[in-house]
Amino acid sequence: MKYYDYHCHSNISFDGRTPIAEICASVIKAGGSGVTFTEHIECAQDFPHGGLLDWQQYHSEIEQARKMFPDFSVGMGVEAGWQPLMQPQTEAAVKAGNYDFVLGSLHYIDDLPIYNGAFSEGKTLKQAYSEYFAVLLAAVSEMVDFDVLAHIDLIRRDEQLPKVDFIYNDYADYLDPLLKQLIERGKGLEVNTGGWRCGCYEPHPAPEILRRYRKLGGEIITCGSDSHVPRSLFYRIKDAYGLIEEAGFKYISLFEHRQLKQVPFK
């Protein structure tokens, strides 16, 4: 089996620090066959360059890495963050970039980050989770140009809320239509090993969400570390592939020039 890290941030992202070639060398060393970079496009006013990335630099570093590591797959993708007032700019940047792969993401609700307690402040866990999934469902319905939904239960990473077992039925009113919509639109679901790193004791999504997506007919799964620093590159990707197969999926999904390629586990 060949293993790929499909969620990775280099210093092209405002919050990444490591050059692309260095990341490729580390993933090769860790036993990976490829990495697809998913640099942030997060069109918020207070971000450097309006949340857009330096495409020229990105493209030239990717080309350089492809020459340096010819037997290793290097994908040029983006993680497009949902910003309701800036969707035209986001979609235009995604289209213009001619990327291999696009993750759709929700990181902020009313400009409040979902992961650090700002959004959940003053809410019970049930309130925070319900509001988050309701907003995510509405956001995904309006996201046009993406291949795979990233970290569907990112709210579980919230630093202020207790870490609890995830009970699907408590949020099925939001998650069932969300998963059905992804399947109907031919969009995938991401398994993100950042959950393991960020105190959730399991990757995103919770196993029940992953199994429900499969049961409803979902077949498109990418797997990534969501790494921003060298130590989390390729983090537990092999373990996650095992969980995906155990959940009943027959393929891991790869993308090149936005074209889906399904690679069987066996």
Q: Which residues bind Zn ion (CB under 5 A)?
A: 79, 105, 226
Looking at beta carbons only, is 83 or 170 nearer to Zn ion?
83
| Three-state DSSP class for residue 17 | coil
Helix (H) or strand (E) holding 14: none
CB 20 within 8 A of CB 230: no
CA distances (Å), 109 to each of 119, 201, 237, in order?
Answer: 7, 24, 29
CB 244 within 8 A of CB 19: no
Q: Which amino acid is at 190?
A: E
Looking at beta carbons only, is 107 or 172 nearer to Zn ion?
107
Of 106, 36, 44, nearest to 73 (Cα)? 36
**What is the distance between the alpha carbons of residues 233 and 235, in angstroms, rounded to a whole number?**
5
Nearest approach, Cβ of 266 to Zn ion (angstroms)?
Answer: 30
| Three-state DSSP class for residue 10 | coil
Looking at beta carbons only, is 27 or 173 nearer to Zn ion?
27
State the residue for tokens 């499909």: 6
Three-state secondary structure along 168-196? HHHHHHHHHHHHHHHHHCCCEEEEECHHH
Looking at beta carbons only, is 34 or 104 nearer to Zn ion?
104
Of 72, 23, 1, nearest to 241 (Cα)? 1
Nearest approach, Cβ of 105 to Zn ion (angstroms)?
Answer: 4
Nearest approach, Cβ of 210 to Zn ion (angstroms)?
Answer: 18
Nearest approach, Cβ of 212 to Zn ion (angstroms)?
Answer: 21
Looking at beta carbons only, is 15 or 54 nearer to Zn ion?
15
Looking at beta carbons only, is 108 or 174 nearer to Zn ion?
108
Nearest approach, Cβ of 103 to Zn ion (angstroms)?
Answer: 7
Nearest approach, Cβ of 222 to Zn ion (angstroms)?
Answer: 12
Looking at beta carbons only, is 26 or 105 nearer to Zn ion?
105
Nearest approach, Cβ of 13 to Zn ion (angstroms)?
Answer: 8
